[in-house]
């Protein structure tokens, strides 16, 4: 059954700084992997119509591609500078529970109280991804983003 997961956080940065962190290869490797994971790009071409392939390796957690890693192929569906990045995400997994394309929308706007409001929306989340684990992963990435921008 298709599921949508969402998360949001206000960060102490401008929307322009946040958006730069959305599209910078070096920045993504620092903040995108959730707690307990490291990332490595196997291919990176982040532009409208481009794609990237990312391997996340987990410490003490099971992966979808191998015993300790996830490999995702991400296609850039939409890129609106300073506002929104929409990605079609496919997991490299033989398990049918992780099949299908998840649509991830990363959006940034000025926060009413100052800083930037960052929103993540994941549509068509594969059945094999638990809602609790996904919520924790999204929140962890947002925490990492806030720390990266503060640093």
State residue 124's pLDDT score.
97
Domains held by the chain: number: 1
Q: Which residues of the chain have pLDDT under 50?
A: none
* Separation between Cα atoms, residue 56 and residue 130, nearest integer Å: 17
| HEC string for 30-64 | HHCCCCCEEEEEEEEECCCCCEEEEEEEECCCCCC
State residue 39's pLDDT score.
94
Q: What CATH code is carried by the domain that includes residue 84?
A: 3.30.530.20
- Contact call for residues 142 and 32 (beta carbons, < 8 A): no
State residue 121's pLDDT score.
98
Question: What's the pTM value of the predicted model, to 2 decimals?
Answer: 0.91
State residue 47's pLDDT score.
95
Q: What is the three-class DSSP state of 113?
A: coil
Domain that holds residue 141: 5-150
Per-residue pLDDT tens digits for 108-117: 999 999 999 9
- Contact call for residues 120 and 144 (beta carbons, < 8 A): no
- The continuous run of DSSP H or E covering 13 comes out as none
**Residues 63-71: contacts with CB under 8 Å, at least 24 apart:** 64/91, 64/92, 64/93, 64/95, 64/98, 64/128, 65/91, 65/92, 65/93, 71/42
């Amino acid at each position: 059954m298709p599921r949508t997961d969402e998360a949001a956080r206000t960060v102490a940065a401008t929307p322009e700084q946040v958006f730069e962190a959305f599209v910078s290869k070096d920045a993504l490797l620092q903040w995108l992997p959730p707690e307990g994971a490291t990332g490595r790009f196997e291919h990176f071409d982040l532009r409208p119509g481009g794609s990237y392939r990312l391997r996340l390796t987990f410490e003490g957690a099971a992966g979808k591609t191998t015993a300790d890693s996830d490999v995702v192929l991400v296609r850039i569906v939409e890129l609106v500078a300073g506002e929104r990045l929409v990605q079609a995400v496919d997991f490299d997994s033989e398990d049918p529970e992780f099949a299908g394309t998840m649509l991830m929308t990363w959006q940034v706007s000025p926060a009413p109280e100052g800083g930037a409001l960052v929103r993540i929306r994941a549509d068509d989340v594969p059945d094999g991804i638990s809602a609790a684990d996904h919520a924790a992963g999204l929140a962890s990435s947002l925490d990492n983003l806030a720390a990266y921008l503060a640093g």
